[in-house]
Copies of this chain bind each other. A is one copy, B any other.
Amino acid sequence: MSKSSRATAADVARAAGVSKWTVTRAFTPGASIAEHSRERVLQEAAKLGYRPNLLARSLATKTTNLVAILVDDFANPYKLPVLEVLTQALQAEQMAAVLININQHFDHLSAILDADQRQVDAVILVGTDFKDEALNEQALPASRPPLYVLARESTIAHIPAVSCDARVSMAEINQHLWQRGYRRPGFMSGPRSLSTALGRKQHFNTFWQPHCGAPVPELRAGSYDRNAAAQVLRAYLQHTSAAERIDVLMCENDALAIGAIETARHEFGLRVPQDLAIVGYDGDELAATPSFNLTSYRQPLPQMVAALIRMLKGELPPQSLNLPGELLIRGST
């Protein structure tokens, strides 16, 4: 072993007086090796500071234990708990996450190709605003790593999506709002991806449209960003007289809802919920603070991630899942 570079299996083998294959076996759980030579190897390995080179191992085994996580939405604070839960769960399985930032310089396709070149075992799209057709394209290499979608529905048949059950959750929210006496609802939507259109908004409208007569007003923020929410609500309130306004605003997620509360309260002096009730979605911890006190719906993040991991490990066939969360009734409704 040269001093400059790190010890290899061959170095340890020499020191322990065995062949390098025996060294490999000492580090392979369940391999056929005599207890005494195992100990001898581990002892020498510790002495030399040897730890198997995972790159070399991955090259030989064709599995890296690396998962690419694609995120395009760093303005949404809810991404943080998602990343926390996801990385922790992956690490518990000896895997690691490569965090890839999707933005105008680096689109989904580039990211997937790049991750593919790095031989990741899977790619997880974390609630990103992808255009479904972009992932349906032939541009994707045939042998690309398996794709999964987390915290968003997918309309692409062959891509499993694990998310919070939009039908059940929106039913709970709708029932709550109805009971509270709200009758003039509005919906604030985020990115205009196809997959979203089929989700929360649809279930919301399906319930209210018959009760309202008219179509439910939609406020399009265009992204999951507080400022975008502020902007679109500002425009709405400026152009709508108090008498004609909605009495409750369902926001596609908490980031939008927080932006909406800020604007309603500080720019228009509206009281929440008396003048305008607001509902979010995600169960972001920030929304629970007294300043916002936002009624929201908690996504079952641990369960969602656990299910996804089981699919990665092959313990569960890849499939789309819709898991139930929990309605969090707070002061904003």
Q: For A5, what are the chain B residues with a Cβ–Cβ distance below 8 Å?
A: 143
User: Does A116 sit at the interface, judged by CB under 8 A?
Assistant: yes
CB-based contact A92/B116 at 8 Å: no
**Chain B nearest Cβ from A112, distance in angstroms:** 11
Query: For chain A residues 62-108, which have a beta carbon within 8 Å of chain B?
Result: 64, 66, 69, 74-75, 77, 79-81, 83-84, 87-88, 91-92, 96-101, 103, 105-106
How many copies the complex holds: the figure is 2
Mask: chain A, 44-76; 1 = CB below 8 Å from B; 0 = not: 000001011111101100001010010000110
CB-based contact B105/A100 at 8 Å: no
Q: For A267, what are the chain B residues with a Cβ–Cβ distance below 8 Å?
A: 290
Contact-size category for A: 35 or more
- With A74-B83, A286-B77 as known contacts, state yes or no: A101 contacts B88, CB within 8 Å: yes
CB closest residue in chain B, given A65:
B118
Query: For chain A residues 218-277, which have a beta carbon within 8 Å of chain B?
Result: 226, 258, 261-262, 265-267
Cα–Cα, bound, A74→B99 (Å): 15
The one of B99, B106, B118 in contact with A69, judged by C-beta atoms closer than 8 angstroms, is B99
CB-based contact A289/B80 at 8 Å: no
CB-based contact B286/A266 at 8 Å: no
Cα–Cα, bound, A49→B139 (Å): 9
Cα–Cα, bound, A114→B118 (Å): 18
CB-based contact B91/A100 at 8 Å: yes
The one of B52, B79, B80, B119 in contact with A54, judged by C-beta atoms closer than 8 angstroms, is B119
CB-based contact B83/A99 at 8 Å: yes
Cα–Cα, bound, A250→B101 (Å): 33
CB-based contact A105/B87 at 8 Å: no
CB closest residue in chain B, given A258:
B289
CB-based contact B51/A55 at 8 Å: no
Apart from A96-B114, A262-B290, A291-B292, 8 more pairs, CB < 8 Å: A53-B117, A54-B119, A69-B99, A74-B81, A91-B100, A98-B98, A226-B286, A267-B290
A-B contact pairs, 8 of them (CB 8 A): A6-B141, A6-B143, A51-B117, A55-B64, A88-B103, A96-B99, A96-B114, A97-B99
